[in-house]
Amino acid sequence: MSELQRAVALAERRALDSVAGERIKMELLLESATAQQAKRMAAAAAASAAAAAAAAEKEDPAPQAVEADQVRKLIGVLLLLTLMLLLVLFLLFSFLLFFLLSFLLFFLFLFFLLLFLFFLFFFLLLFFLFLFFFLPPICLHVTTMYGRYLK
């Protein structure tokens, strides 16, 4: 029985060793393929950079001086942008001012409306005071005086 266990352990050890060896071989192959591909990519990038530099030298060998016409165009564009900004700010502040004034007018309207209602209530109160407290004695006085006059 112990011989069988030794044979199984030996077979397991051989299998593990062969699997580890194959794994090491695969890793080496993968590293070499990655290194070769990186070399190819670096060579292609260097070639494309050299081609781009050669094309740029052919197109514009030396930077040209800025012409006065280009400066005038740039100043015109800047002035136009400044005017547009001023217009936008003017519209923004005019709308803001409009809304502020409209709120002010609304509150003034409310104030005068409340003032009017207060005076209306006050004069109605005076009228009813006159009607119910001052007018009856006056009428009574007038009628009694008129009655005395008739006697």
Token output for 35: 């290194």
pLDDT tens-digit map of 15-43 = 888 888 888 888 888 888 888 888 888 88
Residue 118 to residue 121: CA distance in whole angstroms: 5
pLDDT tens-digit map of 127-148 = 888 888 888 888 888 788 777 7
Determine, yes or no, domain membership for 10: yes
Mean pLDDT, the chain, whole residue set: 85
Determine, yes or no, domain membership for 139: no
Tell how many helices (H) and how many strands (E) occur in the chain. Answer: 3, 0
Determine, yes or no, domain membership for 32: yes
Residue 45 to residue 40: CA distance in whole angstroms: 9
Determine, yes or no, domain membership for 91: no
Determine, yes or no, domain membership for 11: yes
Domains identified in the chain, total number: 1
Determine, yes or no, domain membership for 134: no
Q: Considering all CA atoms of the chain, what is the largest pairwise distance in Å, rounded to the nearest integer? A: 162
Domain that holds residue 6: 1-53
67 DSSP assignment: P
Global pTM exceeds 0.75 = no
pLDDT tens-digit map of 30-79 = 888 888 888 888 888 888 888 887 777 776 555 556 688 888 888 999 99
